Amino acid sequence: MRADIHPKYTNAEIRCACGNVIQTRSTRPTILIGICNACHPFYTGTQKFVDTAGRVDKFQQRLAKTQAAQAAITSAKKKRK
């Protein structure tokens, strides 16, 4: 194997939206997730209402940000020509 081509594998935290923190090892220092085994309805046995409107809003915000970035790139390319 070649030396120094692999990413660093260090201690990491997995953080859930419910506040649960899980210690593991990964190439990324923190991993954010929306649902884990402590709050998932299958494992807890309770039904929980998931805020779908909040998810839609998050998606629309990310979409707007992406479209704005793409528009900026295309306008910069047009100015170069």
**Calpha distance 22→34 (Å, rounded):** 13
pTM of the predicted model, to two decimals?
A: 0.49
What counts of helices (H) and strands (E) characterise the chain? Answer: 2, 3
Q: Give the closest residue to 33 by CA, choosing from 17, 22, 49, 19.
A: 17
pLDDT in tens, 7-42: 899 999 999 988 889 999 999 999 998 888 888 777
Considering only residues 62 and 47, tell me which one the structure prediction assigns the higher pLDDT: 62
Architecture of domain 1-49: Irregular (4.10)
